[in-house]
Amino acid sequence: MKKYSKKFKYSSLKKFVWGQKSGSTLIELLIYIAVLGIILLVVTDLLSQSLEASVKSQVRNEVEENSRLIFERIKYDVRRAGAITVPANLGETQNSLVLTIDGQPLTFSKIGNALFITNGLISDPITTNEVVVDSISFQKIGGKIESSGGKPTLKISLSLRGLRATKQGTLTKSWTTTLSLR
């Protein structure tokens, strides 16, 4: 039996894999750089769009969470209030709300860019520092006069704006709801 003994030559494998050339031309290098540049541009754009969508989502969540907190707090206090002191008359619209709860006044009012709740001497913000209260109004509405047994009803209009700007600008949302005493 005859044995075949071939020595493996690295240089012949290199020529087989890489071809006969020993280097790259200038045109090939420019093509590689152009393709790499296009890939980097696409990846950078995707990352930028992802970051923008994340910021927009965070701002939207912050604005909506603040509005939910405001309405839930006002709803809680209106339902346990004995009377709505301000606005006093049917159809009247005010920028603050004063409720009487257990004989004590409780006030909701816009101070600066935030909504505050004041109970006696203690005043606490309801909104976070991430949103601005552009406007809030309270209108006393209702079909019946209170002296004849009707329940006073409030129409609340609220406009909030997120502080962080996106490429489309700042996010502003407005809501309107109605609440009545129990």
* CA atoms of 172 and 59, how far apart (whole Å): 10
More reliable by pLDDT, 97 or 19: 97
Read off the tokens for 135: 């406007």
139-172 confidence digits (pLDDT tens):
998 745 555 567 788 999 999 999 998 888 899 9
* CA atoms of 24 and 18, how far apart (whole Å): 11
42-69 confidence digits (pLDDT tens):
999 999 999 999 999 999 999 999 999 9
Instruction: List the domain boundaries for the chain.
Output: 26-180
DSSP string over 1-67: -PPP-----HHHHHHHHH-S-SS--HHHHHHHHHHHHHHHHHHHHHHHHHHHHHHHHHHHHHHHHHH
The conformation of residue 68, written as its DSSP 8-state character, comes to H
92-114 confidence digits (pLDDT tens):
999 999 999 999 999 999 999 99
User: What's the confidence (pLDDT) of residue 11?
Assistant: 57
DSSP string over 94-108: ESEEEEEETTEEEEE
Q: Residue 180 forms beta bridges with which residues?
A: 153
* CA atoms of 159 and 28, how far apart (whole Å): 59
